[in-house]
Structure 1
């Protein structure tokens, strides 16, 4: 199947939050259409794609306050518009939004089918708290890793910081994922080559396809690096984007990844009773 990674910069909030969110939503829908026209079966997006990256500020010193203006509802107009676009263009999509649910707010990826059905959601599990990533000020932790059985194949989602814990992708694969999607917000200040290797090595160790889609462009004190990447189950780089806005396309074989995992010993010979 063909997968599309919608590497994009985000419209700044400036003085009009609604306009910024709407502009990002319009761009996202355009990328859904372009992905379908390019023959993709699935398009994924970067982390919190409709918002500025508000976690770069501690909540007490943020120009966005508690970021409530960016919190969306799973039944709200933005999700409805994304679902409608998937149905209109006949393509699966995994957007990532700031979702308020049951009194808490989460960094949440959605999985939407080509008929517009909301198949499921994945929330970030490990919540960072570091300079420029004050995420514990805004996100509640999710309850675990989910794998979705789809006509395209079995798909898992591991959000940004979660991928730094090998247990995240490994758990997704042990639960049957052939493809793991990683929406992220990587910056030029971070070890970019190491991040490439991190994705490739985990794809190799788990005999799975791993696709990491990043933001790009400058936002206040951060400059996002782009360089979205798709790694094959043998650890190869299937495709990689540059630094700017780009729709990265690649053909991947989910059944082939599953067959490779069955023929290699990495997951079958695990001895979990010996692990801490």
Structure 2
């Protein structure tokens, strides 16, 4: 609820849009504890959902951040169940499946993905959307910072396993539709969740 959150809320109200964004969160109750977090602000400027990244990537994140412990965070916008995760989280199939089982329709994934991991937005994210029968909005950074080269390629992946909208490697405004009717039809045709056999998967946990 600091200055940045209030600034984002003002943008949301001004444009009549919900806004999801990532930021470093300081734990106000535990001194020195930081989370890699994301927040979703509604079109009325009120916070709708808050998520702390559960899977930290590499020495840099492990040095500075504490992992969150809540895999599924959801809210609802216009009848759509919206879930949140951050970057590396989406690369774990169990993580996205947990959202699918909890009824997430649209998964928001703010991201800072670097070269040479282009396989994630180009292949992994559409496959995750298909195998879990949901939409994934994967919003990545672009351009260089220090030794890093962020690759862009943001996408809205659909339950049919295609990129319903796709950005390039530079700054882009990408607009795509989350269609409830298309989602329902796709889920009826691809009943992965119904056909699961959880009794066989014990070794995974």
TM > 0.5: yes
TM-score with structure 2 setting the length:
0.90
Task: Describe how 1:107-186 pairs up with structure 2 within 5 A.
Answer: 107-130=36-59, 134-144=60-70, 145-186=72-113
Name the stretch that deviates more: 237-246 or 142-151: 142-151
Match of 1:266 in 2: 192
**Count of residue pairs brought into register by the alignment:** 198
User: Offset of 1:183 from its aligned partner?
Assistant: 1.1
Distance 2:120 2:153 in 1: 12
User: Offset of 1:263 from its aligned partner?
Assistant: 4.1
- Whether the 8 Å contact between 1:216 and 1:225 is mirrored in structure 2 is yes
Match of 1:31 in 2: none
TM-score with structure 1 setting the length:
0.68
After TM superposition, what 4+ stretches of structure 1 lie above 4 angstroms from structure 2? none
Using a 3 Å threshold, how does the CA distance of structure 1 residues 194 and 114 change in structure 2: closer, same or farther? closer
Distance 1:197 1:206 in 2: 14
2:18 counterpart of 1:89: no
Match of 2:161 in 1: 235
Structure 1 unmatched ranges of 5 or more: 1-74
RCO higher in structure (CA 8 A, sep ≥6): 1
User: Offset of 1:92 from its aligned partner?
Assistant: 0.6
Distance 2:93 2:50 in 1: 21
- Whether the 8 Å contact between 1:208 and 1:258 is mirrored in structure 2 is no
For residues 139-191 of structure 1, the C-alpha deviation after alignment (integer angstroms, 9 at most, x for no partner) is 1111222121222510111211111110111111111111111111111232x
Report the secondary structure of 2:173's partner residue. strand
Distance 1:180 1:137 in 2: 27
RMSD: 1.5
- Whether the 8 Å contact between 2:24 and 2:35 is mirrored in structure 1 is yes
Structure 2 unmatched ranges of 5 or more: none
Report the secondary structure of 1:265's partner residue. coil
- Whether the 8 Å contact between 1:159 and 1:182 is mirrored in structure 2 is yes
User: Offset of 1:265 from its aligned partner?
Assistant: 1.7
Using a 3 Å threshold, how does the CA distance of structure 1 residues 236 and 79 change in structure 2: closer, same or farther? same
Distance 1:258 1:223 in 2: 38
For residues 9-62 of structure 1, the C-alpha deviation after alignment (integer angstroms, 9 at most, x for no partner) is xxxxxxxxxxxxxxxxxxxxxxxxxxxxxxxxxxxxxxxxxxxxxxxxxxxxxx
- Whether the 8 Å contact between 2:23 and 2:38 is mirrored in structure 1 is yes
| Residue among 171, 174, 179 paired with 1:245 | 171
Match of 1:77 in 2: 3
